[in-house]
Amino acid sequence: MYLVTAEQMRELDRRTIEELGIPAVALMENAGRAIAEEVVALCRRRGPGGGRDRGNRWSNGGSSGGDGGSGGGADGSSNGSSNCSSSGGNGGNGGNGSSNCSSSGGNGGNGGNGSSNCSSSGGNGGSGGNGSSNCSSSGGNRGNGGNGSSNCSSSGGNGGNGVSGDAAAAETARAHGERAGFQVSGDNALTLAHADAERWFILVGKGNNGGDGLAAARHLREAGIAATLVYAVPPESLTGVAALQRDAAAALGLPALQYGRDRLDLAEGSGIVDALLGTGAAGAPRGAYAELIAAANRSGKAIVSADIPSGLDADTGATHEPCIQASVTVCLALLKRGLVQYPGAAAAGRVVVRSIGIPSSLAGEEDGVSAHLLTPEVLQQRLGVDVTRRRSPEGHKGTYGHVLLAGGTLRMSGAGLLSARAALRAGAGLVTWALPQQLLPYVAGAAPELMLAPAEDGGAGVWNAATADELLRLSGQRDVLAIGPGLGRFAGDTEWLRRLWEGTACPLVLDADALNILAEADYSGWAQRKHPVILTPHPGEMARLAGRSTAEVQADRIGLALAYAAEHQVTLVLKGAHTVIATSEGQAYVNTTGHPGMGTGGAGDVLTGVISGLLAQGLNAAQAAAFGVYLHGEAGEKAACERGNPASLIAGDIIEAL
């Protein structure tokens, strides 16, 4: 999934409108419809008078899709493309071809062959037919969809067999005197059982984001939901397509208030659509915008944001004061970078990316588009990683490479051990841990699979500058050198690192104190390396490397990581929630795996080991960094789950979950 800046999004809008000839108002119409569908989906999830429903996950695609697994488990295995979600009940079986199944309270039916959308609310979904089929069931049992194009819905009772496009079958039925069951449904995505209990305020800004909100208001009204417009500015000040939407809403008689002129209590509604500011926002919200945002947050009502939460910097994820705290953000066309970096990711709540007619293939043609959400698809298709980690039947330990790790001191021996063990679990054929000699009696046998290479330490149990010779010799027969976990600082460490940087003919992974050494050295003057370098700083280490404050690093993680990687020709792994991987060629990947329980000592050492282990197996720097981060986060999730309470997670658990 692409991640774009506001500037890149504007360019894609422009090309869609000017080069493809798709009118701006059509895009806005689609945007409004998508927002309305997500409001309806939220209303369905929480039920009448429900709570705020704040979540935090990304999903892609159709209405109400992707709210996986609250309650029953989705049984969504299907061939082809399938989105299954289940809330309270069991998701049905996805059929062949494209299938969207959602179930709320009941059992989802079986998706049929071809394109099938099945949703079930309170009852059991039936089987989708062959061909294109939309089935929904509310309160009763769903009938079976027929062949051909079929729309079936059932409310309260048992659905009959859906009318199908198979004329011959219908004719046969008539010939046998049977009366075909007949079902007509409305627009399921905009159907809400308790619509009359809902009253939404639509906060409308001056620009196109406001236009999206106005279009959404009309669609909500179609769904039977009362929608009241709240203009932040006099409606007359809207221009262009937003003004068209204003006029359409007025012609339909949608009630409209103007902030500051009319009485308004947002707490009187059941939810709020935030269409104040989008990608055209500049700086902190001003005047009526700021006051409306603060009032919306105070109201305690669910907020659905159009495109981005108003008050968020769409590029960096920084939040201005005030910034909307959304339950759901309906991100339009392509995922904005600011929605995947904290604190923006928290302000956005659950992010749903909805297509509005801007082809994502246009993004692929743009040189400037350089960031992606790190998903299994991106790993496989963009980075060419075999995510199955398949082993060759003919393979042996020599096939999977040899890691040399330099780290650990008497007081920080565990960091080296964790890193070395993680390299083994990542699949490296062999791992040699080079360590100060004094450590040997304490760690020998701690991990029998490891090879140990004691370095002369003069009895002090710490590293010294003279060990560079031994490391250079050892690295000659190894596939990767990782330096840093538990390394500590020592006299002459800058020169020591320079010799290893310049003298090793294999990829280099630098972490922890190796990064601190680098931060103090002017390493741009060191000889250029033929083999790649991966740096794995946490925000504090990144701040030292870049000569910034930690707050500055966190304020624009993607931008800074990209700039640093390009300037220093390294692959950079900027750790933290939603770790950023930036390559020297200008590609950034934002990780989607991980768990708050991973904030524990040694987790970073484990990551260094995993990345090194992957490099040893022949992955290139971008592949190893990205896949390593992904696997590390996934293992953390699994380990946190196994522990029961994430606070109990320790770094060793992550290794065991790999």
> Nearest-CA neighbor of 642 among 652, 632, 657?
657
User: Smallest gap, in angstroms, from Cβ of residue 462 to ligand NPW?
Assistant: 53
User: Smallest gap, in angstroms, from Cβ of residue 333 to ligand NPW?
Assistant: 7
User: Smallest gap, in angstroms, from Cβ of residue 267 to K ion?
Assistant: 20
Q: Is residue 384 a known part of a binding site?
A: no
In angstroms, the Cα distances linking 254 to 218, 248, 492 are 8, 9, 74
Encoded tokens for 136: 């929904």
Q: Is 329 in the site for K ion (CB under 5 A)?
A: no
Is 580 strand, coil or helix? strand
Residue 136, binding choice from K ion, ligand NPW, none, Cβ under 5 to 8 Å by partner class: none
Q: Is 306 in the site for K ion (CB under 5 A)?
A: yes
Name which of 303 and 654 has its Cβ closer to K ion: 303
User: Smallest gap, in angstroms, from Cβ of residue 56 to ligand NPW?
Assistant: 20
**Rounded (10°) CA dihedral 466, 469, 472, 477:** -130
Q: Is residue 486 a known part of a binding site?
A: yes
Residue 221, binding choice from K ion, ligand NPW, none, Cβ under 5 to 8 Å by partner class: none
Residues 6+ apart with CB under 8 A from 567: none
Edge to edge, the sheet with strand 2-4 lists 335-336, 2-4, 371-374, 588-591, 580-582, 571-574, 533-535, 508-510, 480-483, 402-406, 430-436, 451-455
* Residue 656 backbone phi and psi in degrees, to 5: -70, -20
Residue 310, binding choice from ligand NPW, K ion, none, Cβ under 5 to 8 Å by partner class: K ion
| CA atoms of 104 and 123, how far apart (whole Å) | 8
Q: Is residue 282 a known part of a binding site?
A: yes
User: Smallest gap, in angstroms, from Cβ of residue 242 to ligand NPW?
Assistant: 7
Count CB atoms within 10 A of the CB of residue 437.
17
Q: Is 38 in the site for K ion (CB under 5 A)?
A: no
- Evaluate whether 309 touches 322 at the Cβ level (below 8 Å): no
Q: Is residue 36 a known part of a binding site?
A: no
Q: Is residue 247 a known part of a binding site?
A: no
Residue 281, binding choice from ligand NPW, K ion, none, Cβ under 5 to 8 Å by partner class: ligand NPW
Encoded tokens for 620: 């290139």
Name which of 281 and 614 has its Cβ closer to ligand NPW: 281
User: Smallest gap, in angstroms, from Cβ of residue 556 to ligand NPW?
Assistant: 18
- DSSP E strands: which ranges in 122-176? 133-138, 150-155
Residue 305, binding choice from ligand NPW, K ion, none, Cβ under 5 to 8 Å by partner class: K ion
Q: Is residue 511 a known part of a binding site?
A: no
Is 656 strand, coil or helix? helix
Q: Is residue 636 a known part of a binding site?
A: no
Residue 167, binding choice from ligand NPW, K ion, none, Cβ under 5 to 8 Å by partner class: none
Name which of 513 and 556 has its Cβ closer to ligand NPW: 556
- Evaluate whether 310 touches 289 at the Cβ level (below 8 Å): yes
Q: Is residue 576 a known part of a binding site?
A: yes
User: Smallest gap, in angstroms, from Cβ of residue 275 to ligand NPW?
Assistant: 7
Label residues 537-559 b or e (16+ Cβ within 10 Å = b).
bbbebbbbbbebeeeebbbbbbb
* Residue 425 backbone phi and psi in degrees, to 5: -65, -25
Q: Is residue 415 a known part of a binding site?
A: yes
User: Smallest gap, in angstroms, from Cβ of residue 276 to K ion?
Assistant: 6
Q: Is residue 41 a known part of a binding site?
A: no
User: Smallest gap, in angstroms, from Cβ of residue 27 to ligand NPW?
Assistant: 4
Name which of 145 and 207 has its Cβ closer to K ion: 207
Q: Is 619 in the site for K ion (CB under 5 A)?
A: no
The 248-287 site mask, x for binding K ion (CB under 5 A), equals --------------------------x-------------
User: Smallest gap, in angstroms, from Cβ of residue 249 to ligand NPW?
Assistant: 15
- Evaluate whether 484 touches 513 at the Cβ level (below 8 Å): yes
- Evaluate whether 606 touches 424 at the Cβ level (below 8 Å): no
DSSP state for residue 163 in the 8-state scheme = P
- Evaluate whether 192 touches 44 at the Cβ level (below 8 Å): yes
Q: Is residue 538 a known part of a binding site?
A: yes
Residues 6+ apart with CB under 8 A from 643: 597, 649, 653
Q: Is residue 289 a known part of a binding site?
A: yes
What is the CA 372 to chain-centroid distance, rounded? 9
Name which of 106 and 311 has its Cβ closer to ligand NPW: 311
Name which of 242 and 649 has its Cβ closer to ligand NPW: 242
Residue 285, binding choice from K ion, ligand NPW, none, Cβ under 5 to 8 Å by partner class: ligand NPW
> Which of these segments, 32-40, 84-92, 300-308, 631-639, binds K ion (CB under 5 A)?
300-308
Q: Is 310 in the site for K ion (CB under 5 A)?
A: yes
The DSSP element (H or E) to which 635 belongs, if any, is helix 621-643
Name which of 274 and 313 has its Cβ closer to K ion: 274
> Nearest-CA neighbor of 124 among 145, 139, 146?
139
User: Smallest gap, in angstroms, from Cβ of residue 273 to ligand NPW?
Assistant: 12
Give burial (CB, 10 Å; 0-12/13-18/19+) of 394: exposed
Q: Is residue 283 a known part of a binding site?
A: yes
Q: Is residue 604 a known part of a binding site?
A: yes
Name which of 306 and 535 has its Cβ closer to K ion: 306
Encoded tokens for 371: 């960031």
Q: Is residue 310 a known part of a binding site?
A: yes
| CA atoms of 330 and 76, how far apart (whole Å) | 24
User: Smallest gap, in angstroms, from Cβ of residue 329 to K ion?
Assistant: 8
Report the interface residues with ligand NPW, using CB under 6 A: 13, 24, 27-28, 31, 205-212, 277-286, 289, 306-307, 332, 356
- Evaluate whether 443 touches 435 at the Cβ level (below 8 Å): yes
Judged by CB under 5 A, the number of residues near K ion is 4
Name which of 151 and 310 has its Cβ closer to K ion: 310
| Of the residues 93, 132, 305, 413, which one makes contact with K ion according to CB under 5 A | 305
Q: Give the residue ranges of the annotated binding site for (6S)-NADPHX.
A: 208-212, 278-284, 289, 307, 415, 486, 538, 605
Annotated binding-site members for K(+): 209, 274, 310
Q: Which residues are annotated as a binding site?
A: 208-212, 274, 278-284, 289, 307, 310, 415, 486, 538, 575-579, 604-605
Binding site for K ion (CB under 5 A): 274, 305-306, 310
